[in-house]
A = this chain, B = another copy of it.
Amino acid sequence: MPTLYNRIQGRNLERLAALSDGIFAVAMTLLVLDLHIPSAAQVHSEGDLVSALAALGPQWVAYGMSFLTLGIFWAGQQTQLNHIAEGTRDLTWIHLGFLFSITMMPFSTRLLAEFITYRAVLGIYWLNIFVPGAMLYWSWAYSTAAGLVKSDTHEEIRNSICRRILIAQSLYAAGAALCFISTWLSIVAIVLVQLNYAIAPRLWGRAGHPSTPSARQ
């Protein structure tokens, strides 16, 4: 009866979190590893060096954007797991699927850095934002249905997690669609959406909803 074994597998959410942190840490650090320094043969003066580094511009854009993407998904996964009481084997495999799409990020980033004006590349990069988002949505929908969510999680929080993914992914899709006009425009739009999720709420929050200790409780 293999289902007995399946029932005892994947209970340990801490190890899932540790594996995830490891994969995100490696992926985030590898991004910059692909940034090759100018070769000594090209560089004969301070000026040469500065121009050679400036020529890496599109690569810096790609790497900065990918670090933002990874940071957003890392924070999103963490928020979900904080609200899940215990794991199951199914949840483990949904998250392994999520992590597989995360390990693709250095590949998509290199592709984007090298061929930043190609629409096909932007499509692949967008897929690499869409798939982890879809996996996280599935993870939450599954956890809710299977009764894995911590009992002290308010209805409002349960809904906000799904809603957030749907809104963010709609904005990313709209941004990616702009590549039919220009891939650069598309990248600017995606980065703006990302910055909105990473930074802007902080500024807004400060104005309208102060995150003071009292407000946090």
* Chain A residues close to B by CB (< 8 Å): 1-12, 15, 17-19, 21-33, 35, 37, 40, 43, 46, 49-50, 53, 64, 67, 71, 74-76, 78-79, 82-83, 88-90, 92-93, 96, 99-100, 103-104, 106-107, 110-111, 114-115, 118-121, 124, 146-148, 156-157, 160-161, 163-164, 167, 198-199, 201-202, 204-205, 208-209, 211-213, 215-216
**Are the CB atoms of A82 and B11 closer together than 8 Å?**
yes
The distance in angstroms between the C-alpha atoms of A46 and B212, with both chains bound, is 51
Sample of 30 A–B contacts (CB below 8 Å) = A2-B160, A3-B201, A3-B208, A4-B156, A4-B160, A5-B157, A5-B161, A8-B83, A9-B76, A9-B79, A10-B75, A15-B17, A22-B24, A22-B25, A23-B25, A25-B26, A27-B29, A28-B100, A29-B103, A29-B106, A40-B114, A46-B119, A71-B100, A75-B89, A88-B216, A90-B211, A93-B202, A146-B212, A146-B213, A147-B212
List 5 tightest A-B contacts by C-beta distance, closest first. Answer: A22-B25, A147-B213, A26-B29, A18-B21, A71-B96
Residues from chain B with a CB closer than 8 A to the CB of A74 are 19, 96
A4-B157, A71-B100, A96-B198 provided; 8 other pairs, C-beta below 8 A?
Answer: A1-B160, A2-B201, A5-B157, A6-B205, A15-B17, A37-B111, A89-B202, A146-B211
**Are the CB atoms of A18 and B19 closer together than 8 Å?**
no
